[in-house]
């Protein structure tokens, strides 16, 4: 595996392979501006539930709450959002009329953090926000306001399978949504790095001389396949099944995502040596994927268990080639932004 200097370039004021422990808003505000190439975040979904890893699993001790109220919100955040994005602030207030305090509080919590994520992205950077139908449509409006509607690149639907209730009175909900935004008009997209095989039906429907089909000169299939569609379905052998059903991958962490999902995102929207940030690291799957794809990375999580998990998972993946990570607790070590004013 290729290795990189632990001191990141591009204006970063933190070390490669660092897991920060603490509130990601406080930590992000210490990061230099325009120092990140790719952000993937899998935040709480406002599911109105609390989660904990089962005793005996590798992630035992990891837990987080996903219930929201006015006590979770700093009053200063209202003023910051209203000052920078007055239209968004009006929208957030309107959600209170429809859903009550919980949805508004959750969206304010997310908005103030996404504002910081935009600041730390490079001009060629991308952000992928993972969510589900609970608040996804509101998060889309939030992202439109902060990143700009014109910078919306794709809505990716990750489809998976699983059992439903025997007394279901609706369709089985088995998909998540990932919103991809760039920060400007130039962004990284490595099409060849994520191509997949053509289906047999595509070959059968091929018509000689059809322009724009991707086929030419009697060749019924491009050697390197096609760029995936925006639905990423679980198929045999592609690794997109939920992590809990993948032997040797699941560590017991609630809401853990499959590593194949994160490796595709890393390959598509970053280059080797680029810096990937996961501000809601959890069991650090995005950090593991970044390492396996020869990217630099930094993760943040409120629980110190995230650092334990990334250490153990990297050791399992890399063995003797793993040289350890940097663990930084915000309660004892604060980042200091030197690239621009803190105002």
In a domain, 147, yes or no: yes
Residue 256's pLDDT is what?
Answer: 82
pLDDT at 341: 45
342 located within any domain = no
Res 343: pLDDT: 39
Strands (E), the chain: 18-21, 36-41, 49-52, 63-66, 121-131, 152-159, 175-182, 231-233, 275-278, 296-301, 326-329
Query: 230 Cβ partners below 8 Å, 6+ apart?
Result: 154, 155, 156, 157
Residue at 118 is within a domain: yes
Which pLDDT does position 103 carry in this prediction?
92
The predicted structure's pLDDT at residue 227: 93
Q: What is the pLDDT of residue 300?
A: 94
pLDDT for residue 216: 53
Tokens of 248: 């040797």
Instruction: State which residues form the domain around 315.
Output: 18-65+108-195+248-329
What is the structure's pLDDT at 206? 55
How many Å apart are CA 149 and CA 147, to the nearest integer? 7
Q: What letters, b where the CB count within 10 A reaches 16 and e where it falls short, cover 258-276?
A: bbbbbbbbbbbbbbebbbb
Q: What DSSP string describes 108-162?
A: HHHHHHHHHHHHHEEEEEEEEEEE-TTTHHHHHHHHHHHH-GGGEEEEEEEE---
Q: Is residue 243 in some structural domain?
A: no
Q: Per the structure block, which two tokens stand in for 314?
A: 């990297």
Classify residue 12: in a domain, yes or no: no
CATH number at residue 325: 3.40.50.150
Task: Specify if 116 maps to a domain.
Answer: yes
**How far apart (Å, rounded) are the C-alpha atoms in residues 25 and 136?**
21
225 and 198 in contact (C-beta within 8 Å)?
yes
Helix, strand, coil share of the chain (percent; to 5): 35, 20, 45
Residues 127 and 41 sit within 8 Å (Cβ to Cβ): yes
Give, for all 343 residues of the chain, the pLDDT tens digit: 233 344 455 588 999 999 899 999 999 999 999 999 999 999 987 867 664 555 455 555 556 677 788 898 999 999 999 999 999 999 999 999 999 899 999 999 999 999 999 999 999 999 999 999 999 999 999 999 999 999 999 999 999 887 777 788 889 888 999 999 999 999 999 999 999 887 765 555 555 555 555 555 555 545 578 899 999 987 777 777 776 666 766 666 777 888 999 999 999 999 999 999 999 998 889 999 999 999 999 999 988 877 787 788 877 776 645 667 888 876 666 666 776 644 3
For 223-255, letters b (16+ CB in 10 Å) and e give eeebeeeeebebeeeeebbbbeeeeebbbbbbb
**Residue 307 confidence (pLDDT):** 77
Q: pLDDT at position 2, please?
A: 33
Report yes or no on 258 lying in a domain.
yes
Question: Is 13 within a domain?
Answer: no
Number of structural domains in the chain: 1
Tokens of 44: 């709480």
């Amino acid at each position: 595996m290729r290795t990189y200097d632990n001191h990141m370039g591009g204006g970063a004021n933190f070390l490669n392979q660092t897991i920060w422990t603490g509130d990601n808003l406080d930590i992000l505000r210490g990061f230099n501006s325009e120092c990140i190439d790719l952000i993937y975040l899998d935040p709480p979904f406002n599911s109105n539930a609390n989660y904990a890893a089962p005793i005996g699993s590798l992630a035992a001790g990891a837990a987080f709450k996903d219930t929201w109220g006015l006590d979770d919100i700093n009053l200063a955040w209202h003023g910051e959002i209203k000052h920078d994005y007055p239209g968004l602030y009006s929208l957030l207030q309107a959600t209170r009329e429809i859903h009550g305090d919980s949805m508004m509080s959750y969206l304010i919590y997310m908005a103030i953090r996404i504002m910081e994520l935009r600041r730390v992205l490079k001009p060629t950077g991308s952000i992928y926000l993972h969510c589900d139908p609970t608040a996804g449509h509101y998060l889309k409006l939030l992202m439109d306001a902060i990143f700009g509607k014109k910078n919306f690149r794709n809505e990716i639907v990750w489809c998976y399978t699983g059992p439903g209730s025997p007394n279901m009175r609706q369709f089985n909900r088995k998909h998540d949504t990932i919103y991809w935004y760039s920060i400007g008009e130039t962004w990284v997209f490595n099409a060849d790095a994520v191509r997949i095989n053509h289906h047999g039906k595509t070959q059968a429907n091929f018509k000689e001389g059809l322009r724009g089909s991707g086929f030419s000169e009697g060749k019924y299939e491009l050697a390197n396949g096609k760029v995936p569609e925006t639905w990423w379905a679980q198929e045999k052998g592609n690794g997109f099944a939920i992590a809990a059903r993948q032997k040797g991958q699941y560590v017991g962490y609630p809401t853990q995502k499959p590593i194949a999902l994160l490796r595709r995102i890393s390959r598509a929207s970053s280059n080797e040596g680029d810096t990937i940030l996961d501000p809601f690291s959890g069991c650090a799957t995005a950090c593991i994927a970044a390492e396996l794809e020869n990217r630099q990375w930094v993760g943040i999580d409120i629980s110190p268990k995230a650092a334990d998990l990334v250490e153990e998972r990297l050791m399992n993946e890399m063995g003797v080639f793993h040289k350890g990570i940097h663990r930084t607790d915000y309660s004892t070590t604060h980042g200091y932004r030197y690239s621009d004013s803190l105002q």
